[in-house]
Structure formats: C-alpha cells, structure tokens
C-alpha cells in the first residue's frame, strides 16, 4: 500500500513544479505563427524576460534546454584561438567547460571542488598571469552562479571585480539556469556580459526554452567571430527584424504561452519578493537539516549559509542512504527528491549517499513543510538516525518571517 496519492511535489532541481496557471495557459489550440496575437505577445515577453535578468542588453531565445544555451553562448564568442577560464564549483561548471572543448575552445580550469565557492583572488591571479603570457588574452571567464550539483552560490559581483582588478578584457559569462528568479541576480549592475538561463527552473515553464542574454561588449566580441552556425547565432534572434527570426523558424508556441503566464506571475509577486520567498523557504529547509544533523549522519554540503543557493540544497547521508531515502519518499509520500550528482567521493562514487532538494519556483510553506515531514518520515521508516526538532525549526523560520507586516507588492497567489 502507498499513501502517495494526491498532488505530488517534484522536489528535484528542475524541472520544477509547474503552476496550474502556466499549464492552463498552454492548453489551447495552435495559433497563427505568421501574424496576430502571438507576435504581439512575444514583443511583450522580451522586455519582461530582460527585467527578470536585470539587464538592458539583448536576449536570444532558443528552443533548447540549458545545454543548448550553454552551446549557443559559447558559439557566439568563439573567436579564432578562443580560450575560456572556468572556475568550477561542481559538476555543472565542468559540463559547460566540456562543451567549450567540444567547440574547439581552449579551457583553463580552476577546480574549487565540491563544497567551496569561487575564490576571486585565484581568478585575478590567473588572469594577471594570462596577460603576461604573451598569448592572445582569455576570451571569457565562464562560471556558474549556482552550481546545481553542489548547491554552491557564487559571488558574481566579486568575480567581476577580480577581472577588473587584473585589468583583463575577458567577458564575464554566467550560468543562471538554476538561479534565475530564485537567487538575487543583477546582470547589468554586476557587470555580467553573457547570462544563460532555461525555462524549467525558477521560470516554472516546462523544459524546452532557453535564453542567452548578452551585453554590447559581448556583441562586439561576436562581431569578430568568423563563423557562427546560423541556428546558434544570437544576432538575428536578439535583434529580430522578422518574427520568424526570434526562433530561427517556427515559434515554440505553447511554451511561449506558458512563459507569458509565468512572467506575469513573477511580476505580480515582485522579483524582490520572489527572491526573499525563496530565501525563507531555503532557510527553513536548512534549519530542519541542521537539527536533524545533530543526532545523525545528515549534513548540508555547504557549511556556510551565505554560500548556499536559495534554489537547491545538496545534502549527504553517507552509504547508500541518499538513494534509499529518495526511493522511500517517492514510493510513500508523493515527494520526489533529487539525486546526488557529481559528488563522486572514493567511498561514494555514484553519489548515492547524497540527495538534493529542489526548492525553486512555484512553492510555498505548506509544500516545503510537507516535504520536510516526508523526509523525516523516511528517516524514521528507514532507521536512519536524526536529531529532534527539525520540523519545529523549519516552522519557526516560516512563522518568524510571516509575522512581519505583509509586503504590498504580493499578489496573494493561490496554488490552484
């Protein structure tokens, strides 16, 4: 017998929970892709996307997942002899670097391991050495804002400061696939030249759309790239003269309806409120984990809360208990936890001692507290020891924040 009826919570770090409003917006007949309402809608989607990214630059939309945006971003800066510097803080950093190698771009890697953030001073040092190497300078520093495997949150503003301190001309390119509309991100203020994102995480839309935002400085680099495959070229997409150019062909009609609705939801709540809701929900998860860890093997992968993402949390139990817990929760409670990814320690080569909680997008306290209750039920059922007071600690975080006077920008969103 399973109790897992009712609404499931897919608590993995993408795809995230899709709001009913988004699903309902997508449930309609196909529109005319040559003129009319769809075209008008896209004209409005572009500025709204840019406001979520906090940029006045351009955006190219791709019918692709995040990997597609990774490739698109790199293809547009692949000048002859291009090299990128990747300060990696987990599996996703290595993945983007791998993609660069596949495009013939040289990769300099600084590996910060699986539980530490980028150290900007090491980046500065490497860039200074690069400038005195006599070679053409590194084209771009590419980095994850949040590495979804480790749940490390990197300080992108400090990374830009390091590039500037070295007096280096490199572009700053940032992967915000996990973090956009979850963790605060300020593309223009932080001096980011290229940012990649995807639809299925903080943007609450099914997988299948991705975005490359780019600055004037990045456009200038693009102008020196001898060839960009026409499909990945951001130029026609980011400055479309004809409607079909936005998408290099047929528009992803239904994803666009979903995206339109999701952008409306974000605007109704207010981006500042969206970020602070994510922070509160994340803090409640960490409070529970902290208490559980007092009396058992559970530990948060990232020790310092200031270095943890508000979108995803990686946790370790050891042995195969991450796997056992995930299977138990999915079978018995309707909560699907994320797999451990890229933690690959000698004792845990498949990361089965780890699991991740995705807490991005369309979430509220009852979902988070229900998920935490499910996890604690799993500990109990599986005889995994844990400290007491976890749920109470999570509740205290929620209650404390909810006691504060309600913000006026909130839309009082119901969960449908």
Ligand X SMILES: *Cc1c(COP(=O)(O)O)cnc(C)c1O
Minimum CB distance to ligand X smaller for 67 or for 128: 67
Minimum CB distance to ligand X smaller for 82 or for 178: 178
Minimum CB distance to ligand X smaller for 183 or for 348: 183
Output the smallest distance, CB 146 to ligand X, in A: 6
Task: Spell out the SS3 assignment of 15-44.
Answer: CCECCHHHHHHHCCCCCCCCCCHHHHHHHH
Minimum CB distance to ligand X smaller for 38 or for 203: 203
Minimum CB distance to ligand X smaller for 205 or for 323: 205
Q: Using the structure block, give the residue that is written with the tokens 């660069």.
A: 100
Q: Measure Cα distances from 410 to 20, 208, 311, 332, 395 in Å.
A: 18, 29, 20, 34, 21
Output the smallest distance, CB 360 to ligand X, in A: 9
CA gap 253, 29 in Å, rounded: 10
Which residues are near ligand X by CB under 6 A? 14, 65-67, 92, 144, 146, 148, 175, 177-178, 198, 207
Minimum CB distance to ligand X smaller for 144 or for 376: 144
Minimum CB distance to ligand X smaller for 90 or for 120: 90
Output the smallest distance, CB 314 to ligand X, in A: 12
Q: Measure Cα distances from 42 to 49, 63, 65, 258 in Å.
A: 10, 14, 19, 12
Name the residue with the smallest CB distance to ligand X.
Answer: 66
CA gap 119, 251 in Å, rounded: 41
Output the smallest distance, CB 35 to ligand X, in A: 31
Output the smallest distance, CB 70 to ligand X, in A: 7
Q: Please calculate the CA angle 99-235-271 and round it to the nearest 5 degrees.
A: 80
- At 59 the three-state DSSP class reads strand
* 30 close to 250: Cβ distance less than 8 angstroms: no
Minimum CB distance to ligand X smaller for 68 or for 365: 68
Q: Give the CA count within 13 Å in the CB-facing half-sphere of 301.
A: 34
By residue count, the chain amounts to: 416
Q: Using the structure block, give the residue that is written with the tokens 């749920």.
A: 391
* 200 close to 221: Cβ distance less than 8 angstroms: no
Output the smallest distance, CB 269 to ligand X, in A: 22
Output the smallest distance, CB 390 to ligand X, in A: 26
Q: Measure Cα distances from 319 to 149, 205, 275, 284, 374 in Å.
A: 18, 35, 34, 26, 20
Output the smallest distance, CB 150 to ligand X, in A: 10
């Amino acid at each position: 017998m399973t109790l897992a009826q009712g609404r499931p919570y897919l608590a993995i770090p993408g795809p995230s929970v899709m709001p009913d409003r988004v699903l309902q917006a997508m449930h309609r007949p196909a529109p005319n892709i040559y003129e009319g309402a769809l075209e008008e809608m896209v004209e409005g989607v572009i500025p709204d996307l840019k406001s979520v990214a906090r940029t006045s630059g351009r955006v190219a939309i791709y019918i692709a997942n995040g990997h597609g945006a990774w490739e698109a971003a790199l293809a547009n800066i692949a000048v002859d002899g291009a090299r990128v510097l990747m300060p990696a803080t987990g599996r996703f950093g290595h993945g983007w670097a791998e993609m660069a190698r596949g495009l013939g771009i040289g990769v300099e890697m600084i590996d910060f391991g699986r539980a530490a953030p980028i150290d900007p001073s090491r980046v500065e040092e490497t860039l200074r050495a690069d400038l005195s190497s006599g070679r053409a300078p590194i084209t771009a520093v590419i980095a994850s804002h949040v590495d979804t495997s480790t749940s490390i949150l990197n300080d992108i503003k400090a990374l830009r400061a390091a590039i500037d301190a070295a007096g280096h001309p490199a572009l700053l390119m940032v992967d915000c696939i996990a973090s956009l509309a979850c963790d605060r991100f300020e593309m223009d203020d932080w001096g980011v030249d290229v940012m990649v994102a995807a639809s299925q995480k903080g943007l609450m839309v099914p997988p299948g759309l991705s975005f490359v935002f780019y600055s004037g400085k990045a456009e200038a680099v693009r102008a020196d790239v001898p060839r960009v495959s026409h499909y990945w070229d951001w130029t026609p997409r980011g400055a479309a003269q004809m409607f079909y150019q936005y998408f290099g062909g047929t528009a992803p009609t239904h994803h666009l309806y979903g995206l339109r609705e999701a952008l409306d939801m974000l605007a109704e709540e207010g981006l500042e409120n969206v970020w602070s809701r994510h922070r509160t929900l994340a803090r409640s998860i960490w409070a529970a984990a902290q208490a559980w860890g007092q009396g058992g093997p559970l530990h948060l992968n990232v020790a310092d809360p200031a270095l943890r993402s508000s979108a995803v949390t990686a946790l370790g139990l050891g042995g195969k208990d991450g796997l056992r817990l995930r299977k138990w929760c999915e079978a018995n409670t309707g909560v699907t936890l994320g797999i451990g990814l890229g933690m690959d320690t000698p004792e845990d080569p498949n990361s089965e001692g780890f699991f991740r909680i995705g807490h991005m997008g369309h979430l509220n306290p009852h979902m988070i507290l229900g998920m935490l209750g499910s996890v604690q039920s799993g500990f109990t059922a599986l005889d995994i020891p844990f400290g007491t007071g976890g749920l109470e600690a999570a509740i205290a975080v929620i209650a404390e924040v909810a006691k504060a006077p309600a913000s006026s920008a909130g839309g009082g969103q119901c969960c449908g």
